[in-house]
């Protein structure tokens, strides 16, 4: 009895202290969304990061947005671009901006800001977003140091501008909807300098939220942007908190300290045993538009022989990898494009079957009846799940006589080895930035150099030229047919990688959440305006 009294006392003391410390700036009745991160972001400046998208998605606007519908389909919708026209040659895009878009500091968003944003993407010395936007005319000239002005963006007046491309690119509108193309304020960029993306009050956007506080490695706070042109977001404030330990994040969610739990931070076993059962009604699943693959370096003996590569494709038991490591949460794919993405072709599915006996026969035919030695190069900084894939791959290869040694590298060394084109076999995944086949096939198979730095070393120059040219085809059906043909050639005929699977991204939401729409490509990051609270 006494002990119970004591613990009640302690609990109430704790509650009082807890309340005293967590008193918030929000008014009564205002909803606060609590989110947990496994690791802190490094910057809020989207030109300097290729993965810290959570804050930019919530505090900036893009010209267009991709909307994820309830049935899982996606569509491109206008955002701060009110309207646009594309010239017949597919080169010039004429935009009209909405006239009611204001940055959170009260200044209007104009075509000048759009121009400044795109120019900065290429003039900023440490910009890392020079990948798929270099299709804009004159971008390459800036990167080559020839000029400081971006020829391809032309401001007509405050609300009108044109973007001209180097060559036609059917996926360009989708590119404009990526986090890469968040529109920044010219005045803010000039005034803030290096503080942009680092200091909350110097990082001004026009999106549904504005950032008010960021304590590095600890927490970040978003507050509704009173100047926002669209429907105000449901939560008045968003509090991010960093939980470096998965166990702490898990407990924090169950304690009610976190409202949306990203299952990717947790062990698959915990997700299955705890969340898939007790929280089954609160799970939100979205397809991750990313393909897992096992690379087969075509420049490393004996994988130079297509028969050997075909044998290796047949040797891998993909379904058992998917089932035992990822709890079966995904689908096998047999090509390059992720399931559900534009370009995904049903006709190119179903040809690859697990067949160890057939693999052995092919190996013998290729002159390796006793197999060979090969290295599986593991990035020890990658997720545990990904590292576990190598264990099964090693066993599968062993079963057909191939002696695979697992060698661990730290992330930086692993990347260096991959960039030099020397990793024989590795597994990784590529998630779409924009919904277009070019976003994935171009990365691996459009140039000898690009293929080398992914340690694939694809050899067929003619095919690579066709890959690079496919995005210029303006007729949608013709273009997709070409992409499907290229996929068939590269994966089925040339066996240049073992296509594995596409996964689902799982989230668990608390009972305070009415509706949560994740990012269309299944990122862990999302625009907080897509969360509706009860």
Following DSSP, what letter does each residue of 460-526 receive, concatenated?
-HHHHHHHHHHTT--SHHHHHHHHHHHHIIIIIIS--EEE-EEEEEEEEE-TTEEEE---TT--S--
C-beta of 209 vs 240, nearer to another protein = 240
Smallest gap from residue 310 Cβ to another protein (A): 27
Smallest gap from residue 452 Cβ to another protein (A): 9
Do the beta carbons of residue 96 and residue 159 sit within 8 Å?
Answer: yes
C-beta of 36 vs 371, nearer to another protein = 36
Binding to another protein (CB under 8 A) within 120-139 occurs at: 125-126, 128, 130-131
C-beta of 25 vs 251, nearer to another protein = 251
Q: For helices 438-445 and 461-470, what crossing angle results, to 10°? A: 150
Tell me if residue 29 falls in helix, strand or coil.
Answer: coil
C-beta of 241 vs 309, nearer to another protein = 241
Tell me if residue 87 falls in helix, strand or coil.
Answer: coil
Identify which range of 38-46, 305-313, 339-347, 476-484 contacts another protein by CB under 8 A. Answer: 38-46
Smallest gap from residue 173 Cβ to another protein (A): 20
Binding to another protein (CB under 8 A) within 257-316 occurs at: 257
Single out the residue of 120, 224, 241, 318 in contact with another protein (rule: CB under 8 A).
Answer: 241
Using rule CB under 8 A, residue 10 touches another protein = yes
Do the beta carbons of residue 63 and residue 181 sit within 8 Å?
Answer: yes
Smallest gap from residue 125 Cβ to another protein (A): 5
Tell me if residue 421 falls in helix, strand or coil.
Answer: coil
**What is the Cα–Cα distance from 115 to 82, expressed in whole angstroms?**
17
Site string for another protein, 421-450 (x = CB under 8 A): -------x-x------------------xx
Using rule CB under 8 A, residue 147 touches another protein = no
Identify which range of 6-14, 201-209, 263-271, 471-479 contacts another protein by CB under 8 A. Answer: 6-14
Binding to another protein (CB under 8 A) within 81-120 occurs at: none
Do the beta carbons of residue 527 and residue 57 sit within 8 Å?
Answer: yes
Tell me if residue 389 falls in helix, strand or coil.
Answer: helix
Smallest gap from residue 356 Cβ to another protein (A): 31
Single out the residue of 94, 123, 164, 198 in contact with another protein (rule: CB under 8 A).
Answer: 198
C-beta of 25 vs 416, nearer to another protein = 416
Question: CB 515: neighbour CB atoms within 10 A?
Answer: 13
Tell me if residue 441 falls in helix, strand or coil.
Answer: helix
**What is the Cα–Cα distance from 69 to 232, expressed in whole angstroms?**
20
Query: CB-based contacts of 299: which residues, under 8 Å, 6+ apart?
Result: 421, 452, 457, 459
C-beta of 70 vs 194, nearer to another protein = 194
Single out the residue of 331, 407, 415, 473 in contact with another protein (rule: CB under 8 A).
Answer: 415
Would you say how long the chain is, in residues?
534
Query: CB-based contacts of 187: which residues, under 8 Å, 6+ apart?
Result: 107
Binding to another protein (CB under 8 A) within 336-395 occurs at: 381
Using rule CB under 8 A, residue 6 touches another protein = no
C-beta of 155 vs 407, nearer to another protein = 407
Do the beta carbons of residue 202 and residue 212 sit within 8 Å?
Answer: no
**What is the Cα–Cα distance from 220 to 210, expressed in whole angstroms?**
11
Single out the residue of 32, 141, 252, 448 in contact with another protein (rule: CB under 8 A).
Answer: 252
Nearest partner of 329 among 74, 126, 477, 522, judged by Cα: 522
Using rule CB under 8 A, residue 453 touches another protein = yes
Smallest gap from residue 499 Cβ to another protein (A): 17
Smallest gap from residue 167 Cβ to another protein (A): 18
C-beta of 218 vs 301, nearer to another protein = 218
Single out the residue of 73, 87, 405, 412 in contact with another protein (rule: CB under 8 A).
Answer: 412
Residue 36's φ and ψ, nearest 5 degrees, are -115, 140
Q: How many helices (DSSP H) and strands (DSSP E) are in the chain?
A: 18, 21
Footprint of another protein on this chain (CB under 8 A)? 7, 10-11, 13-15, 17-18, 21-22, 39, 42-43, 45, 48, 50-51, 125-126, 128, 130-131, 143, 194, 197-198, 215-219, 241-245, 247-248, 251-252, 254-255, 257, 381, 410-416, 419, 428, 430, 449-450, 453
């Amino acid at each position: 009895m006494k002990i119970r009294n004591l613990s009640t006392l302690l609990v109430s003391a704790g509650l009082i202290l807890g309340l005293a410390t967590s008193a918030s700036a929000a008014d009564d009745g205002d909803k606060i969304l609590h989110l947990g991160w496994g690791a802190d972001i490094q910057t809020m400046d989207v030109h300097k990061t290729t993965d810290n998208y959570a804050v930019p998605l919530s505090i900036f606007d893009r010209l267009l947005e991709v909307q994820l519908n309830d049935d899982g389909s996606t569509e491109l919708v206008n955002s701060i671009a009110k309207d646009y026209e594309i010239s017949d040659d597919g080169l010039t895009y004429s935009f009209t901006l909405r006239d009611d878009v204001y940055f959170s500091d009260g200044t209007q968003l104009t075509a000048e800001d759009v121009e400044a944003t795109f120019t900065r993407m290429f003039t900023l010395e440490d910009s890392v977003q020079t990948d798929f936007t270099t299709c804009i005319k004159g971008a390459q000239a800036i990167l080559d140091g020839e000029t400081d002005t971006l020829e391809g963006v032309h401001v007509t007046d405050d609300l009108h501008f044109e973007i001209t491309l180097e060559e036609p690119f059917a996926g360009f509108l989708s590119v404009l909807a990526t986090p890469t193309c968040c529109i920044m304020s010219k005045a803010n960029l000039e005034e803030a300098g290096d503080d942009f993306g680092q200091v909350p009050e110097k990082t001004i956007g026009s999106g549904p939220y504005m950032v008010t506080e960021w304590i590095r490695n600890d927490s970040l706070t978003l507050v509704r942007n009173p100047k926002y042109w669209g429907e105000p977001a449901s939560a008045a404030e968003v509090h991010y908190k960093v939980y470096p330990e998965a166990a702490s994040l898990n407990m924090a969610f169950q304690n009610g300290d976190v409202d949306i739990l990203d299952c990717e931070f947790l062990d698959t076993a915990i997700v299955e045993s705890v969340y898939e059962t007790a929280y089954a009604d609160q799970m939100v699943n979205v397809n991750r538009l990313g393909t897992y693959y096992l690379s087969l370096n075509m420049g490393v003996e004996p994988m130079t022989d297509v028969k050997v590569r075909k044998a290796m494709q047949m040797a891998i038991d993909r379904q058992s990898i998917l089932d035992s490591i990822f709890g079966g949460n995904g689908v096998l794919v047999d090509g390059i494009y992720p399931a559900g993405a534009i370009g995904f072709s049903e006709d190119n599915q179903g040809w690859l079957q697990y067949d160890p006996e057939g693999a052995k026969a092919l190996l013998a035919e290729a002159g390796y009846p006793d197999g060979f030695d090969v290295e599986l190069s593991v990035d020890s900084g990658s997720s545990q799940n990904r590292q576990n894939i190598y264990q099964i791959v090693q066993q599968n290869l062993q079963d057909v006589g191939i002696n695979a040694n697992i060698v661990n590298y730290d992330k930086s060394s692993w990347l260096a080895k991959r960039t030099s084109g020397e990793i024989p076999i590795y597994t990784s995944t590529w998630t779409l930035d924009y919904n277009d086949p070019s976003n994935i096939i171009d990365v691996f198979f459009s140039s000898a150099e690009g293929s080398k730095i992914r340690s694939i070393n694809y050899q067929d120059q003619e095919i690579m030229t066709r890959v690079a040219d496919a995005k210029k085809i303006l007729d949608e059906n013709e273009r997709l047919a070409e992409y499907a043909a290229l996929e068939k050639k590269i994966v089925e005929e040339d066996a240049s990688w073992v296509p594995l699977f596409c996964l689902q991204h799982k989230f668990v939401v608390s009972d305070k959440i009415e509706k949560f729409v994740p990012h269309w490509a299944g990122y862990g990051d999302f625009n907080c305006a897509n969360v509706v609270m009860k």
